[in-house]
A and B are shown apart, each in its own frame.
Chain A
Amino acid sequence: MTWVPVVLVATTAFGLIIVERPGFQIGILAVQYASVAWLSSLALPPQVAAVKVVAGMITSGVLALTVAGSRPHAESVAGRTFRVIAAILIMTAAIGIGQTNWMRVPDIRQEAIMAASILMSMGLLQLGLFRSPLRVVIGLITLLSGFEIAYSVIEPALAILALLASVHIGLAMVASYLTLVARPAGPAEGGE
């Protein structure tokens, strides 16, 4: 049963790379947040892990309102086939790394280290693939969620969880600002 959230995390991380429609991405992100909270509850009291669900729902809500308000175009910087292949390769590597406690976190469960590896790897892949504020922020959130699964085992303090939750909400607000208030980058000028 404890492997169910790992499968969910892997599926959602994969989906965030493949799916292009912003509305669907936010839905997938919300499921990812629930899965991360489930995994965190293996090490934390459920009421503490619930902080992650609440933060995740607020973050997803802010991003959903942003998408509804701006109707951003689906960003596709690489072909879908390329993204599928890249995601499979990175996922395979992450599963390989996740077999061992590579972060050397004491008393961490195998499921947690596997999920952390998958999310961090797929988050980095998203950061490498996409340019739009919304997708970059979703990539950052995925990366951070992976880190937090492992970090909540070693630092279960509520104050840290609350501050990290504020980082998620802050990232969503930055994405919202850049999408709604600032003008998005043109296709020719988006890169460095």
Chain B
Amino acid sequence: MSAPALVFILIATLAVATLGLRRRAYLPFAIAGISCALIGLFVLYAPLDTAFSLFGLPLRLESTWQILGRASNLDAQDRAAVGFLFLVGALFFSVGWAAAPGRSFVPTGLIALGLLAGALTIEPFLFAAIFLELAAMACVLILIPPGSRSERGELNLLVLYTMAMMAILFTGWLLENVGVTSVTPELALRVILLLGLGFVILLFVPPFHYWLPNAAQRVNPFSLAFVAIILQSSGMFLLLRFLDNFVWMRADPRISTAIQAAGVWMILFGTLLAITQISFLKFAVYVLLADIGVSLLAIDSELATGTEIAIGMTSVRVISLGLWGLGAALMSKTGYSSGAGRKAPLATAVGLMGVMSLAGFPLTAGFPWRWTLLTQLPEASRFGALLMVFSTAAILWAIVRWARVFFELGSAESDVDEDLPPTLALTLMASACLLLGIFPQLAIPWVSANLSP
């Protein structure tokens, strides 16, 4: 039996089952949450390519699945990425019912996760581009549930991913068939430019982020958080895979300069636009961009642990973004207006805490990895370190301003009943964020051991 085939069958079955159960309130979320957690743990820990016994039955799980002459391969690096994706799914599906993201959220979310897992495991890797495009299509359906208004913002996601697909497909051919390396400088430059175009789209580097703020204004924040985290983290894992597989790229100073420039640009752009926003939803989107920029600085920091820090930041981003998405979704009835915090105090506080964690504020989950990066950055990266501190301070100032707006006496649109199930979900997520911020030693060794390449 092949492990990738088993995962594929499980995801297909779950997608069909949850599609059938989509009219039930909690059941599809519970089934998908538990199943994704089990699949994630299976991908991370199952013994592959070795014989073992389960309840007395001799078994052997292969790490490779041959399909249509191509291979889906779960090697050590891919296991970390795929396991991570399913654990993200487990978290978002488990608490998703509280945010009411729409009936199609679970089945299309599962399909998107399956396609992204396919993108991360398929060989040769150029096929990944097509799987990413298919996953983007599923994400459009997540963002626009049945009956919602379809807008150009979500279609822009599709347009951008189609362009990224074409760029990566062409690059894949140059790398795998033509054998481009640093000894063919003209072709190497074409590869770098095309690959750069593909990855700036996958990593939401401005101006290729423009679908995000457009979508943020209209779609359920929880759905947007889910789509943003699965697409961006898949892009990050693919970038790391490229850099590991093609050593000449990692050694090329132009690549290093481009990653560093993208990181600096994202931090500056994200921070400056975040602090000038008058929309809370767009504010969080720009803070997310600044956070992704810090991850790019970590990749390019020339630290031995740079990749590990980038993966760690991606991991805690799941908690931060989930927290913001859940809080913001439950705040929606207040219209995010002045006094919203008095109508829905817990949701508002949790939404703000999510943004604080995204900005790397102390005592939140986002802080420990940023602190690790800040303390390890070499002298040559002093500008990057200063920029990180400036970003956190500026965003904190903006958060204080938002808190004053939300918690001052005002007229929000309606009273919001904070029912027990959403309250429970908010409390659990907020506790996890604080726990990981105060006791980072609980998670850092696990992330280093299991998710880092």
A interface residues, Cβ below 8 angstroms from B: 103-104, 127, 131, 133, 136-137, 140, 143-144, 147, 151, 154-155, 157-160, 162-164, 166-167, 170-171, 173-174, 177-179, 181-186, 189-192
Q: Is the CB of A140 within 8 A of B141?
A: no
Tell me if B158 and A192 are in contact (CB < 8 A).
no
B149 pairs with A185, CB closer than 8 A: yes
Bound state CA distance, A158 and B133, in angstroms? 18
B126: A residues at CB distance < 8 A: 155
Q: Does the CB pair B134–A166 fall under 8 Å?
A: yes
In the complex, how many angstroms separate the beta carbon of B171 from the nearest chain A beta carbon?
12
A190 to B166, CA, bound (A): 27
Closest B residue to A123 using CB positions: B162
Collect the chain A residues with CB atoms within 8 Å of residue B144's CB: 177-178, 182
Contact A174 B134 (CB under 8 A): no
Would you call A140 and B152 a contact (CB within 8 A)?
Answer: no
Q: Does B150 contact A (CB under 8 A)?
A: yes
Selected contact of A181 from candidates B68, B146, B156, B165, CB within 8 Å: B146
Chain B residue nearest in CB terms to A120 = B166
Residue contact B148 to A136, C-beta cutoff 8 Å: no
Which residues of B sit under 8 angstroms from A140, Cβ to Cβ?
158-159, 162
Q: Are A164 and B130 in contact (CB under 8 A)?
A: yes
Q: Closest residue of chain A to B174, judged by CB?
A: A154
Residues in chain A near residue B152, CB distance under 8 A: 131, 136, 185, 190-192
Q: Please name all residues of chain B whose beta carbon is closer than 8 Å to the beta carbon of A179 when the two chains form the complex.
A: 150
Q: Is the pair B150, A171 in contact by a Cβ cutoff of 8 Å?
A: no
The answer to whether B70 has its CB under 8 Å from any CB of chain A is: yes
Q: Is the CB of B173 within 8 A of A136?
A: no
Cβ contacts under 8 Å, A185 to chain B: 149-152
| Residues in B120-138 with C-beta less than 8 Å from chain A | 126-127, 130, 133-134, 137
Are the C-beta atoms of B141 and A174 separated by less than 8 Å? Answer: yes
Please state if B149 and A189 are interface contacts (CB–CB under 8 Å).
Answer: yes
Of A155, A177, A189, A191, the residue contacting B173 (CB under 8 A) is A155
| B13 CB to nearest chain A CB (Å) | 20
In B153-193, the 8 Å CB interface with A consists of 153, 155-156, 158-159, 162, 165-166, 169-170, 173, 177, 190
Contact B149 A127 (CB under 8 A): no
Known A136-B155, A167-B134, A190-B152; contact A182-B68, beta-carbon cutoff 8 A = no
Out of A151, A160, A190, name the residue touching B151 (CB < 8 Å). Answer: A190
Q: Which residue of A lies closest to B155 (CB)?
A: A136
Residues of chain A with a CB closer than 8 A to B170's CB = 103, 151
* Cβ-based interface call for B210 (8 A): yes
**Contact yes or no, A162 B148, CB < 8 A:** no
Interface assignment of B376: CB less than 8 Å from any CB of chain A:
no
Q: Write out the residue numbers on chain A whose beta carbons fall within 8 Å of the beta carbon of B141.
A: 174, 177
The reply to whether B169 and A151 form a contact with Cβ atoms under 8 Å apart is yes
- Tell me whether B2 is interfacial, beta carbon within 8 Å: no
A–B complex contacts, Cβ < 8 Å, 5 sampled: A140-B162, A151-B166, A154-B177, A166-B130, A191-B152
Decide yes or no whether B359 CB sits under 8 A from chain A. no
Given contacts A154-B173, A162-B68, A192-B214, contact A171 B127 (CB under 8 A): no
Considering only residues 402-421 of chain B, those with a C-beta below 8 Å from chain A are none
B399 at the interface (CB under 8 A from A): no
Q: Nearest 5 A-B pairs (CB), nearest first?
A: A182-B150, A178-B150, A163-B130, A181-B146, A182-B144
Chain A residues with CB below 8 A from B210, complex form: 192
Chain B residue at smallest Cβ distance from A164: B130
A183:B155 contact, CB within 8 angstroms: no
Instruction: Report which residue of B141, B146, B150 has the largest number of chain A beta carbons within 10 angstroms of its beta carbon.
Output: B150
- Note all chain A residues with C-beta closer than 8 A to B151: 185, 189-190
A103, A158, A174, A190: which has the most chain B beta carbons within 10 Å? A174
For A167, the closest partner residue in chain B by CB is B133
Q: If the complex has contacts A144-B162, A151-B170, are A133 and B134 also in contact, measured as CB distance less than 8 A?
A: no
Q: Is B58 an interface residue (CB 8 A)?
A: no
B253 interface residue per 8 A CB criterion: no
Complex Cα distance, B356 from A106, in Å, reads 52
Q: Measured between C-beta atoms, what is the minimum distance from A163 to chain B in Å?
A: 4
Residues of A within 8 A of B173 (CB): 151, 154-155
CB distance from A34 to the nearest CB of B (A): 22
CB interface residues, B 59-80, toward A, < 8 Å: 68-70
Asked if A170 and B134 sit within 8 Å, CB to CB, the answer is: yes
Q: How far, in whole Å, are A59 and B386 apart by their CA atoms in the complex?
A: 52
Closest B residue, CB atoms, query A130 = B152
| A147 close to B166 (CB less than 8 A) | yes
- A143 nearest CB across to chain B (Å): 7
Let me know if B147 is at the binding interface, CB within 8 A: yes
Among residues of A, the one whose C-beta sits closest to the C-beta of B162 is A140
A133–B154 alpha-carbon span in the complex (Å) = 10
What's the least CB distance linking A175 to chain B, in Å? Answer: 9
Interface string of B376-415 (1 = CB under 8 A from A): 0000000000000000000000000000000000000000
- Which listed residue (B149, B150, B156, B166) contacts A144, Cβ 8 A? B166
Decide: A159 near B70, CB < 8 A? Known: A174-B137, A190-B151: yes
| Shortest distance between the CB of B184 and any CB in chain A (Å) | 13
- Least CB distance from A9 to B in Å reads 18
